[in-house]
């Protein structure tokens, strides 16, 4: 399987200089998280980057491209065909057009070939990161959780048929609300019915800000998880 890695040249140069200085000051192994903590969260997403820092990474690599109007966006593919209802190069669209793209409209972009894995970093209330983004509590409206839960449900239903038998779907949100986490997954698995899927026993479920949910890295570098997230890994049987 081939993977492409895209790094902004200026950013790569700055990263190299920073790591060189870091190594010179404190000789030791330098930890670089490839696309974030991609073993624990969907790659190239905020949860993956945040977990990489929590786990003690010195830096992380990500894929960045520019829109037609010069806005940087984090996306791996050079085109929009595979992941949205749009088509063509990322650079041919404005930022506003990308924000309006809808992955739920699979008929508009799926080529019919099943995926071995689907990473769904679903839109959510962001209630788990209020500590670092206090404006979230004023930007959200009371009915947002219901609207977002409906979108999450529709995305799960739309993307599941694209998964090959034996494939895995990783669902993630940066929310502490059960409606966007465990309740969402419970309802989804009930809709699928018995024998069609199974929840991976290693799925952490809700990770709430608590010392019990700290990440253990090198000696002395473990820290308590200060943000809230939800992860569920589902196997297609």
Mean local confidence (pLDDT), 44-58 = 77
Q: Report pLDDT for 188.
A: 97
Q: Is the pLDDT of residue 25 over 80?
A: no
What count of other Cβ atoms lies within 10 Å of the Cβ of residue 137?
11
Q: Report pLDDT for 83.
A: 66
**pLDDT tier at 15 (50, 70, 90 boundaries)?**
very low
Backbone angles phi, psi at 232, to 5 degrees: -140, 125
Respond yes or no: is residue 174 known to be catalytic: yes
96-131 burial, b at 16+ Cβ within 10 Å, e below that, comes to eebeeeebeeeeebbeeeeeeebbbbbebbbbbbbe
Distance of alpha carbon 230 from the chain centroid:
11
Q: Report pLDDT for 59.
A: 80
Q: Cβ neighbours of residue 47 under 8 Å, at least 6 residues apart?
A: 36, 41, 121, 172, 174, 229, 231
Among the listed residues 62, 124, 130, 174, the single catalytic one is 174
With pLDDT > 70 as the criterion, what percentage of the chain qualifies? 76
Domains and CATH numbers, the chain: 114-237 (3.40.50.150)
Q: Is the pLDDT of residue 190 over 80?
A: yes
What count of other Cβ atoms lies within 10 Å of the Cβ of residue 222?
14
**pLDDT tier at 204 (50, 70, 90 boundaries)?**
confident
**pLDDT tier at 9 (50, 70, 90 boundaries)?**
very low
Q: For the chain, what is the mean pLDDT?
A: 77
Query: What is the Rg, in whole angstroms, of the alpha carbon atoms belonging to the chain?
Result: 19
pTM of the complete model:
0.60
> Kind and range of the H or E element at 167?
strand 163-173
172 near 42, Cβ under 8 Å? yes
């Amino acid at each position: 399987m081939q993977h492409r890695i895209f790094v902004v040249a200026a950013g790569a140069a700055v990263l190299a200089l920073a790591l060189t200085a870091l190594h010179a000051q404190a000789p030791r192994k330098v930890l670089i998280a490839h696309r974030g903590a991609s073993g624990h969260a969907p790659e190239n997403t905020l949860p993956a980057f945040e977990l990489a820092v929590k786990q003690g990474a010195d830096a992380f690599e990500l894929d960045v491209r520019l829109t037609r109007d010069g806005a940087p966006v984090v996306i791996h593919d050079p085109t929009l065909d595979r992941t949205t209802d749009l088509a063509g190069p990322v650079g041919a669209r404005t930022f506003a057009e990308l924000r309006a793209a809808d992955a739920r409209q699979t008929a508009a972009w799926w080529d019919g070939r099943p995926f071995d894995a689907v990473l769904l970093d679903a839109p959510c209330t962001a209630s788990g990161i209020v500590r670092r983004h206090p404006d979230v509590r004023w930007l959200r409206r009371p009915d947002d959780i219901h609207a977002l839960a409906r979108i999450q449900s529709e995305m799960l239903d739309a993307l599941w048929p694209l998964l090959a038998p034996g494939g895995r779907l990783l669902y993630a949100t940066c929310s502490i609300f059960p409606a966007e986490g465990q309740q969402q997954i419970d309802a989804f698995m009930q809709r699928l019915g018995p024998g069609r899927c199974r929840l991976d026993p290693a799925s952490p479920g809700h990770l709430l800000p608590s010392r019990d949910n700290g990440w253990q890295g090198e000696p002395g570098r473990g820290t308590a998880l200060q943000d809230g997230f939800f992860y569920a890994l589902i196997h297609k049987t």
